[in-house]
Chains A and B, each alone.
Chain A
Amino acid sequence: MSDFMTGAAQIFTFATLIYMLFGSVAGIVAAAIPGFTVTMAIVLTLPLTFTMEPLQGIAVMLSVYVGGYTGGLISAALLGIPGTPSSVATTFDAFPMARNGQPGRALSIGVWASFFGTLISTVVLIFAAPPLALFAVRLGPWEYFSLIVFALTIVASLVGSSVIRGMLAGLIGLAISTVGTDPIMGRPRFDFGIEMLQTGLPFLVVLIGIFAISQLVSEVENADTVRSGNPLVTGAIDFQTWAVMKEVLMRPLNLLRSSMVGVLIGALPGAGGSIANLVAYDQAKRGSKHPERFGTGEVDGIVASEAGNSATAGGGLIPLIGLGIPGSAVDAILMASLMVHGISVGPRLILDHGDLVYGMFIAMAVASLMMLVVAVCSMRLFLRVTEVPKWLIVPVVMTCCVVGTFALNNRVTDLYLLIFIGIAGYALRALSYSLAPLVLGVILGPIAETNLRRALMTNDDPSLFFTRPISLIFLIAAVISIVWAIRSHLKSRKLSERSSDAAAS
């Protein structure tokens, strides 16, 4: 209890709260710009925390972290471009809702879902950090591979209008992930002697090219609407703060399920927010009574994606606090910031620096509240983006995408890759390929390959995938997921056939 009080006393100082407020604003703004990830925002914050007290520095970085997960929502909802990889699924429903004349409501739902997602993950973090961390670290390559097989079945929910094209897109994503040095032995693959392909196709460049460039270019397809000075989104700028809060809270099952998905995926090293939002969206769609409404501006879709990605913030801290293992790049930076102050991060962290750990829990809760306040106060400003005409916003956002692509590795060759990926992305969009499975394939490909090969290097008996209990559970879940998807697909086809028969008669 004394540790808790000491931690709280350090967080609730005027200076720390002000720094956290700035951190929240910085995280939201950085993530709202396509191409800038939460990780980049935290990396830029790290040097600024060197002169602060350890807990103060961590609190500021957590504010950037929590703010960043929400910031990605802004461009996802208003521009249809995921601001960060963790808001890919947010584009599916928030963007159509904004396009249907409710941009304020779309943002508001996302902000509240993010807030509750972070709070739920903080509660889970407090109570479940040690046992969950031990569980996560026990998973071997067999379990990881089976988990990825299960995650790949999400493609079935993201296929869009055509199952075949959706699956092809997912496979193309997996194929893209195989370009460059192989992850186990370091052999060059498919680089054709071209230097810029030797390091592979960076995930963020693929994301920007496939989603952002193709979306921006498709905005100018109709020359008349562009030339008339039409804005990207038309509709009322109405935030409806409290009404939307009730709307989100009226979906407790979805909120809780999506947050738990976020926590669990966040707790697994190597996964993180970029997968959690898609898995949570998939689960919400499967659990919904109206799955056909998903993709058209469904509230449950936004709630699932935003609660899912925000909950990974708490989930990611579980292995860090429990075992001293950073589960993602952001957690590694948080760990580095503690080490700069001479604090050794490991299983003894909670015993040796209890005040710091409890302070982190409190900082998470405060950061989420601060994010909510900043978001509610600044959303009107962000919503002004919707009034900007297309002719102005398209070149400007393209330039931001270029800066994001370059700043990732400081490599000019990434810009050349962006040209090819952008053109390919637009071609796929114009040909009605679903782009989300492709991005999922790019994320999951390296994890699947690494763990498959690692498992067979450890023991060349492939039956271990079926005899290890947790691996078997994931594989059974994958089979159930596929059967469920086929059943839903057949059901919706029957329904549409019936309705067309009725219309004909």
Chain B
Amino acid sequence: MSKTQAQEAGEIARLLSYVVILLGAVGLFCAAGAIPASRFEKLGAGAFPKIVFAAIALMSIVAIIDALRKISGPAYGRFLCDAWGWARRCYLVFICLGALSAYLLAIPVLGFSIASFVFIFGLQVILMPRRMPSIALAAVVAVVFSFGLNWLFAEVFTVFLPRGVF
């Protein structure tokens, strides 16, 4: 993929983001209008959000017009292909975000120590050049920053991290 192609694919992705932001701003502007006004003040709870969302909508329209000006016709046809190529190159990003999401959802169930150990050790093994010393180091680091951190917070700072249901 040439540099211009990559720039155009990025510009289309940004155009899509402007459209999403515009739709969100219009929806939330309407939602802000439905917030009841107060008899005790001139501006109600919905006034400030309405100003903000109106400004976002206006700015999004400007951004959309600006983006449409920059993108050539054939770029739209190539976009899906380019986006798929980017996603394949950055597959570790998706693994990281997926692992983080699973970790955060698992904390209330497994407790901080176990969930953190599994997350740190698992993600390190995925990211590392796999050699025996590295795996041993990863295990030690995972123990220190899961069980060790939990102990430090509970015993020294009396801040109790989630214990889980087990």
Chain A positions within 8 Å of B, measured between CB atoms, are 44, 164-165, 167-168, 171-172, 174-175, 178, 182, 184-185, 187, 189-190, 213, 216-218, 220-221, 223, 226-229, 389-392, 394-396, 398-400, 402-403, 406-407, 410, 412, 415-416, 418-419, 422-423, 426-427, 431-432, 445, 448-449, 452-453, 456-457, 460
Tell me the smallest distance from the CB of A503 to a CB of chain B, in Å: 16
Tally of chain B residues near chain A (CB < 8 A)? 68
Residues of chain A within 8 A (CB-CB) of B36 are 187
Q: Which listed residue (A185, A402, A403, A449) contacts B103, Cβ 8 A?
A: A402
Indicate if B80 sits at the interface (CB-CB under 8 A). Answer: no
Q: Is the Cβ of A407 less than 8 Å from the Cβ of B159?
A: yes
Using CB atoms, name the residue of chain A closest to B99: A395
Question: How far, in angstroms, from A125 to B105 measured CA to CA in the complex?
Answer: 47
Other 5 A-B pairs with CB < 8 A, given A190-B49, A422-B100: A44-B157, A168-B18, A175-B25, A218-B93, A406-B162
What's the dominant secondary structure at chain B's contact region? helix
Chain B positions within 8 Å of A, measured between CB atoms, are 10, 13-14, 17-18, 21, 25, 28, 31-32, 35-36, 38, 40-49, 52-53, 55-56, 59-60, 62-63, 66, 89-93, 96-97, 100-101, 103-105, 107-108, 112, 116, 119-120, 123-124, 127-129, 134, 137-138, 141, 145-146, 149, 153, 157, 159-162
Question: How far, in angstroms, from A109 to B48 measured CA to CA in the complex?
Answer: 41
Question: How far, in angstroms, from A400 to B112 measured CA to CA in the complex?
Answer: 12
Q: Which listed residue (A164, A427, A457, A460) contacts B63, Cβ 8 A?
A: A164
What's the dominant secondary structure at chain A's contact region? helix
Question: How far, in angstroms, from A403 to B159 measured CA to CA in the complex?
Answer: 10
Q: Is the Cβ of A182 less than 8 Å from the Cβ of B93?
A: no
Total A-B Cβ pairs within 8 A: 168
Q: Is the Cβ of B128 less than 8 Å from the Cβ of A227?
A: yes
A-B contact pairs, 15 of them (CB 8 A): A174-B52, A175-B49, A178-B32, A182-B45, A190-B31, A220-B92, A221-B92, A221-B93, A223-B89, A228-B129, A399-B120, A399-B146, A419-B104, A432-B14, A445-B52
Q: Which listed residue (A217, A221, A399, A412) contacts B145, Cβ 8 A?
A: A399
Tell me the smallest distance from the CB of B37 to a CB of chain A, in Å: 10
